[in-house]
Amino acid sequence: MKNKLENSNPNQDLDAYWSEKATQIEWFKPYDKVIDESIKPIPRWFVGGQLNTCHNALDRHVNAGRGKSTALIYDSAMTGEKLRFSYQMLLDATATFAGAMARQGISKGDRVIIYMPMIPQAIVAMLACARLGAIHSVVFGGFAAAELAARIDDVKPKLIVTASCGLEPDRIIEYKPLVDDAINQAIHPPEVCVVWQRREVIAKIQSGRDHNWFDFIASAKPHDCVPVAATDPLYILYTSGTTGQAKGIVRDNGGHAVALNWSMKYIYDIEPNDIFWAASDIGWVVGHSYIVYGPLLKGATTLLYEGKSVGTPDAGAFWRVAEEYKVNCLLTAPSAIRAIKAADPNAKLLESYNLSYLKSLFLAGERCDPETLNWSQKVLGVPVIDHWWQTETGWSIAATPLGNDAFKTKLGAAGKAMPGWNVEVLDDNGRPVKKGEIGSIVCRLPLAPSSLVNLWNAESRFIESYFADYPGYYKTGDAGYIDEEGYIFVMTRTDDIINVAGHRLSTGAIEDLLATHPDVAECAVIGIKDSIKGHVPLGLLCLKTSTDRPHEQIIAESIALIRLQIGAVASFKNALIVKRLPKTRSGKVLRATIRKIADGEAYETPATIDDPAILDEIEEALK
C-alpha cells in the first residue's frame, strides 16, 4: 500500500494536519497561523506566509535537479502537432513571458484575461501571471463577445492574451474578431492584447494595442518569482453555470498550493515523473487544478490534449493518447465516456491499444451514473472512481483515494469526505436528516484549503449565494444522502429534486435506472409542472448508434423499468427520444434550460452551451 492517511479524522486537529502538509511546499516566509477562523465568513489559510505558486510548480523542481524531467506533453488531434517541454524549458518560456508582461507594466495584483485554445502558450501565460503575482482570469476560448466583454468589465484587466483561432473537428473559430468586438463593447478595455498566431488563421493586428507573441517577448529579460501573501488571489474563474449570471470565484495562493500538491498523491496516487492526463479544458476548474497546477506542483508530467473523445478521428482517440504517452491516470467527465460508449458500445477500438500503464480512471464534473462506471471498469480493467467537487472548492469534497486500503469504492457514491471537509445533509429547515435520506448537501465551516475565498466584486452575493440559507455551513447546491458507512451519494442539483404528489424524488435516481436500458446511451430527467401532482418526471433519451429498434418500444420499456424499480409513485409516464442533449462545453446537461422549454417559460441561451442549435431540436421534440 503506497498511500495512507496518517490521521483517520484530520478535522479534529486542522492545524496539525495541514501544517504538516504545508511542509511539502516551499515558503519565502513562514506563515504565522495555519487557519484564522476569526475571518468571516470564510476563514483563511496560512495567514502571514509568503510563497509563489509558479516557483513551487517550476523553479523548485529545476532547483532540485529535475530540469530535464518532462513537465508538459502537448498533443493536438486537430493539427497533428506533438510537443514535449522539460521543466527547464517550461520555466524558461514562463520567466520570459513574465518578463515581457512586467516590461509592459503588469505587476502584483493586476488582472490578466487569458482567452486561449488548448495550446501550451495558455499554460505559459497562466504560470507567468502567477510568477508576477498578477491575477489571471481564464475565459473559455470561443465564448461570445458579449460574455467576454462582461468579464473584461468585471476584472478590468490590463492585458488580454489570446490566439488567432481555436479548432473544432468541423470548423475554425476565429478568436481575434471576438476579442476585438468584446474590447469595443467593454467600458474598461485593456491596454494591451497579445496574440499567438496559429498557422490556420493569421489574425489582424491593431497597431498600438496588439502585439504578436514573439514581438511581445523579443529581448525580454526572464523575471524572478514575486513573493505573494498566501491569502493573495491567484486567479478568478467564472463558474460555467447552467443558470443565472456567472460568478467570479476567487482562489488564493497558499491553501491552493498545499491542497492541490497533497491531492496528487493522496487521491490520485501520482508521484513525480508519473503521467497525469486531465482530459478537460483550461477554461474550467478541472483544467486549472489538474491540467496546470496540481501535476506541476507535484513534479509530475501533465498532458495537454487538443481534441475530443470522439470525432478526432474516432471513439478510440482517448485510448490512442493513453497508449502513446503511457498515461498513468486519466481524469475526465462522465459525458466523455458516455460519448465513447455510444459510438463504440463493445469497445472494439480499445482492442487496438495497449493501456498497461493506465492505473486508474477518475470521473468528475457531473454525476456519474453506475451504468457508465460499470462499463468503463469492465472495458479498461482498472479502478474507475467517481469523485465530487465544484468550481468553488477547487478539488475533491468527496473521493475514494487510489492506493489506500482504508477506502473502497461503492457503486453510485462519490466516495467519503476528504480531509478538511465536514459534510452533512440537511432538510429545508436546516435540520439534519437521517442516514440514507435525501436532502441538501452542505459543508460545515471552516472549509478545506483551496476553497473559494470570495466572489470578485460581489461580496454580498458571495454571502447570499453560499452561506445565508444554512448559517455556519457552505451550501453546495447539490442534493443527495450519506449512508451508514459515510459514503456520500450526490444525486442531483437541489433544483432538480422534484415533488410528485408530496413525494420527493431525485431525477438522478431515475436517470440511473434509464441508463441501464441496453439501447440508451445517455439520458436526462427533468420535472415538469403538473396541475394535480405538482411535478411529473419527463425523460429525454439518446440512443446508441447501433440501435435500430422502434422508438415506441424503447420508450415503453423505459417507462416499465421505472415503474418496476421505483413504482407508480414516480408517475413516470413520458419519455422522448432525442438525438442529443444540450450541454455546457464542460459536459454538464442544461437541465434547467430544458425544464423551462418544457414548461413553456422564457429562457436565455446559456453562454456556456456547446451548440445552441440543440435547443431548437429540444423545442421541436417537446411540442
210-212 and 192-196: which strand pairing? Answer: parallel
Question: Three-state SS for 388?
Answer: strand
CB 85 within 8 A of CB 93: yes
Instruction: Report the alpha-carbon distance of residue 319 to residue 309 in Å, rounded.
Output: 9
pLDDT digits (tens, 9 = 90+) for 95-134: 999 999 999 999 999 999 999 999 999 999 999 999 999 9
Considering the domain boundaries, does residue 333 fall inside one? Answer: no
CB atoms under 10 Å from CB of 561, counted, come to 17
pLDDT digits (tens, 9 = 90+) for 236-287: 999 854 444 678 999 999 999 999 999 999 999 999 999 999 999 999 999 9
Length of the chain: 623
Q: Is residue 343 left, alpha or beta, with left meaning phi > 0 and alpha meaning psi from -120 to 50?
A: alpha
Q: At what angle do helices 551-565 and 507-514 cross, to 10 degrees?
A: 130
Name the one residue in this structure whose C-alpha cell is 488531434. Answer: 77
Residue span of the structural domain in which 552 resides: 501-622
Query: Reduced to 3 DSSP states, what percent helix, strand and coil does the chain have, rounded to the nearest 5?
Result: 30, 25, 40
Considering the domain boundaries, does residue 583 fall inside one? Answer: yes
CB 135 within 8 A of CB 129: yes
Can you give the C-alpha Rg of the chain in angstroms?
A: 24
Please, is 616 exposed, middle or buried when counting C-beta atoms within 10 Å of its C-beta (0-12, 13-18, 19+)? exposed
Query: 526 has which bridge partners?
Result: 538
The pTM of the whole model exceeds 0.75: yes
Would you say residue 144 has pLDDT above 90?
A: no
CB atoms under 10 Å from CB of 351, counted, come to 10
Question: Three-state SS for 60?
Answer: helix
Considering the domain boundaries, does residue 455 fall inside one? Answer: no
Question: What grid cell was written down for 103?
Answer: 516590461
Query: 236 has which bridge partners?
Result: 250
Q: Between 12 and 407, whose confidence is greater?
A: 407
Identify which of 381, 403, 402 has the alpha carbon closest to the alpha carbon of residue 319.
Answer: 381
| Residue 495: per-residue pLDDT | 66
The rounded Cα 478 to chain-centroid distance in angstroms is 16
Longest distance between any two alpha carbons in the chain, whole Å: 73
Instruction: Report the alpha-carbon distance of residue 129 to residue 10 in Å, rounded.
Output: 33
Instruction: Report the alpha-carbon distance of residue 588 to residue 142 in Å, rounded.
Output: 17
Cα distances from 21 to residues 63, 399, 533, in angstroms, run 21, 18, 52
Considering the domain boundaries, does residue 565 fall inside one? Answer: yes
Cα distances from 421 to residues 286, 444, 581, in angstroms, run 19, 7, 33
CB atoms under 10 Å from CB of 454, counted, come to 19
Q: What is the CATH number for 567?
A: 3.30.300.30
The rounded Cα 20 to chain-centroid distance in angstroms is 27
Considering the domain boundaries, does residue 422 fall inside one? Answer: no
Query: 525 has which bridge partners?
Result: 539
Cα distances from 164 to residues 123, 144, 288, in angstroms, run 16, 15, 22
Name the one residue in this structure whose C-alpha cell is 424499480. Answer: 565
CB atoms under 10 Å from CB of 50, counted, come to 18
Identify which of 381, 364, 372 has the alpha carbon closest to the alpha carbon of residue 291.
Answer: 364
Domains of the chain: total? 1
Query: 306 has which bridge partners?
Result: 76
Instruction: Report the alpha-carbon distance of residue 479 to residue 592 in Å, rounded.
Output: 15
Name the one residue in this structure whose C-alpha cell is 445517455. Answer: 522
pLDDT digits (tens, 9 = 90+) for 409-441: 898 899 999 999 999 999 989 999 999 998 999
| Residue 622: per-residue pLDDT | 84
CB 331 within 8 A of CB 275: no
Considering the domain boundaries, does residue 549 fall inside one? Answer: yes
Average pLDDT over residues 515-523: 92
The angle formed by the CA atoms of residues 504, 506 and 511, to the nearest 5 degrees, is 145
| Residue 242: per-residue pLDDT | 41
| Residue 308: per-residue pLDDT | 93
Instruction: Report the alpha-carbon distance of residue 37 to residue 545 in Å, rounded.
Output: 54
Would you say residue 506 has pLDDT above 80?
A: no
| Residue 170: per-residue pLDDT | 85
pLDDT digits (tens, 9 = 90+) for 553-600: 999 999 999 888 877 767 888 899 999 898 887 677 888 888 889 888
CB atoms under 10 Å from CB of 227, counted, come to 16
The angle formed by the CA atoms of residues 165, 233 and 176, to the nearest 5 degrees, is 15
Considering the domain boundaries, does residue 447 fall inside one? Answer: no
Confidence at 9, pLDDT banded by 50, 70, 90: low
Cα distances from 384 to residues 122, 300, 361, 418, in angstroms, run 30, 21, 5, 18
Confidence at 55, pLDDT banded by 50, 70, 90: very high
Confidence at 502, pLDDT banded by 50, 70, 90: low
CB 258 within 8 A of CB 218: no
Would you say residue 323 has pLDDT above 50?
A: yes
pLDDT digits (tens, 9 = 90+) for 221-241: 999 999 999 999 999 999 854
Average pLDDT over residues 6-35: 85
Considering the domain boundaries, does residue 171 fall inside one? Answer: no
**Which residues are CB-contacts of 196 (< 8 A; sequence separation ≥ 6)?**
116, 119, 121, 161, 162, 163, 164, 213
Instruction: Report the alpha-carbon distance of residue 340 to residue 480 in Å, rounded.
Output: 28
Name the one residue in this structure whose C-alpha cell is 455546457. Answer: 584
Question: Three-state SS for 614?
Answer: helix
Query: 147 has which bridge partners?
Result: none
Mean pLDDT, all residues of the chain: 91
